[in-house]
Amino acid sequence: MGCEPLIDPHTIATLNSAFAGLKTSEFRGEARVIVPRELIYPVLTALRDKLAFDFLSDITCVDYLNYRGAEDRFGLVYLLASTGTNERLNLRVFLNEPDLSVRSAVPLWEGANWMEREVWDMFGIRFEGHPDLRRILLPDEFTAFPLRKDYPLQGRGERHNFPVLHRATS
């Protein structure tokens, strides 16, 4: 176990022949494909329909602000799995301000709905075509995106913006 490849080389080759501009790398058997933003929806469609990646494991995001050697601000991460061939694939889309939007994957996987809502909630990345892009964890009136690295850990006073009850009022 351990270093057993999680990806079939044929999958990467098929992807590279079908789409131009993908950057692929491999580390300890795990494949990572860097996808331009415009291509993410076609790539996801091809992976699902032609290469049997039938399971969207997760969508998440990384903020690379002040990160060593990073050129882009946000890295949107798609983790895909194939229940048929047991492959796993890591897709990454780099995004920069001010244009933080990407096409929603909800038409492909219904399960992307809440994952994209969470990424929107925490990082403020907009998913075009999402049926219901609301905050999922934080209150609706929250205005910031707290997992961005330029948001202070202790917040901007949101946690203490409440009425004080004392005995006369309660």
Partner 1 sequence: MAVDLPENVVVSKLDSLANWCRKNSLWPMPFATACCGIELMATGASRHDLARFGAEVFRFSPRQCDLMIVAGRVVMKMLPVLQRIWQQMPEPKWCISMGACASTGGVFDTYCVVQGIDRFLPVDMYVPGCPPRPEQLIQSIIDLQDQIQQGGTLSGREFQTRARQQPKRALIELPIVSVPHATSRPPQGTMLRS
In the complex, which residues of this chain contact partner 1 (CB under 8 A)? 65-68, 73, 97, 138-139, 146, 149-168, 170
**CA 109 – CA 160 distance, rounded (Å):** 38
In DSSP terms, which residues pair with 31 in a beta bridge?
Answer: 26, 89
CB atoms within 10 A of CB 158: 15
Q: Which is nearer to partner 1, 8 or 158 (CB)?
A: 158
Provide, rounded to whole angstroms, the least separation between the CB of residue 36 and partner 1. 22
**Where are the alpha helices (H) located in the chain, listed in sequence order?**
9-18, 40-49, 112-123
**CA 44 – CA 35 distance, rounded (Å):** 10
Provide, rounded to whole angstroms, the least separation between the CB of residue 53 and partner 1. 33
Provide, rounded to whole angstroms, the least separation between the CB of residue 153 and partner 1. 6
**CA 85 – CA 129 distance, rounded (Å):** 30
Q: Which is nearer to partner 1, 17 or 160 (CB)?
A: 160
Provide, rounded to whole angstroms, the least separation between the CB of residue 76 and partner 1. 17
Q: Which is nearer to partner 1, 2 or 163 (CB)?
A: 163
First to last CA, the chain: 61
Q: Which is nearer to partner 1, 50 or 67 (CB)?
A: 67
**CA 59 – CA 115 distance, rounded (Å):** 6
Provide, rounded to whole angstroms, the least separation between the CB of residue 66 and partner 1. 4
Q: Which is nearer to partner 1, 114 or 151 (CB)?
A: 151
**CA 77 – CA 58 distance, rounded (Å):** 8
